[in-house]
Amino acid sequence: MGSSEPRGNGRSGVGGTLGDAVTYPARVVAKAWRGPLETAADNVLSAPETARILDRALAGPLPEELARSLVRHRVAERVFRQLAQTGELERLVDRALASPGTLELVDRLLASEEMRHALERAVGGPEVRAAVASHSAGLTARVVAGVRSATARLDRRLVRDGRRSAATTEFAGVASRGVALVVDALAIAAVSLATGAGAALVASLAGGVRPHWLAGVLLAAGSALIAAGYFVLFWSIAGQTPGMRLLGVQVRPGRPDRRLTTVRALVRTLGLALAIIPCFAGFLPALIDPRRRALPDYLAGTVVVYDEGVGTSS
């Protein structure tokens, strides 16, 4: 069988010539009547009767019905979906953003006084400050809770197996007390540094302290007094220093019928110094004592306990 030409791939030369010949008069007539048709359309649209018809149509229910029909049939959604699928929407947005008019408008908007005042009100508003403060407080609380939980777990691990049942979760161990002591030492160092700087400034105005060894002795004595006053003050008033409060532990009398007086707090401060001097050996009894007492507790008749819920946290 002879091969035939495929259909639909184009018109033959003869068919194309015939088609052009048939449509040529129509094209000539359309070109000739284009100007009069446009003029007639302009006259119809600009006529007063057309304006009155449009006014009556817009004043009636037609716009609302048209809007409801557009929403009901999701015309806008279909148009945007079609534009997004073809990529035309992205091209339109890129073209609009890259246009000089858009860039100039954005620059004018950012440089305007209204925008600056709006940003100042937004950033410095009470809602923003409250949100930042709440976030910071929540983060600090989580960090403190994590440190307390970690030191409490370490306290339980440091207790000897034979004493673990006797050492209840009420009494704080050496880990929590040690971390609290480090925090207190940092606070004392900060206070001593500020006090020493102030004293040095006053001494320099008076010509300095002579001899130099006297200045060293006075500085050391002042630091010792600051440290002693720090522990005595907080233990006698609140039962815990800032470091102990951060770690969730506090000092209490060993017997319920006693009070943590200033004298008892002073004795405990001296015991703390004696426990630190021999390389912190004075805290070793807390590893084997049923109530985890160290040398300061033996001398002052005190115990160190967890705040409610700290020792039992996992």
297 burial level (CB within 10 Å; 0-12, 13-18, 19+): buried
- Element housing 218 (H / E): helix 212-237
> Tell me, what's the pLDDT at 160?
58
Domain ranges for the chain: 137-306
> Tell me, what's the pLDDT at 45?
66
> Tell me, what's the pLDDT at 163?
52
> Tell me, what's the pLDDT at 108?
80
Nearest Cα to Cα of residue 250 among 310, 313, 163, 186: 310
Give the CA distances from residue 62 to residues 54, 56, 76, 106, in Å, rounded to whole numbers and listed in that order: 10, 9, 18, 38
Only one residue has tokens 């209490």, namely 252
C-alpha of 211 from chain center: 54
> Tell me, what's the pLDDT at 29?
57
Q: Distance between CA atoms of 64 and 70, rounded to whole angstroms? A: 10
> Tell me, what's the pLDDT at 58?
72
pLDDT values of the chain reduced to their tens digit, one per residue, 314 residues: 444 444 444 445 555 565 565 565 656 555 666 666 667 666 666 777 777 777 777 777 877 888 888 788 887 888 878 877 887 878 877 787 778 878 787 788 778 887 777 777 766 667 667 766 777 778 888 888 899 999 989 988 887 554 554 445 789 999 999 999 999 999 999 999 998 888 878 777 777 667 777 777 888 898 999 999 999 999 999 999 999 999 999 999 988 888 899 999 999 999 999 999 999 999 999 989 989 999 999 999 999 999 876 665 54
Residue pair 265/232 in contact (Cβ under 8 Å)? The answer is yes
Report CA dihedral (242, 247, 248, 254) to the nearest 10 degrees. -80
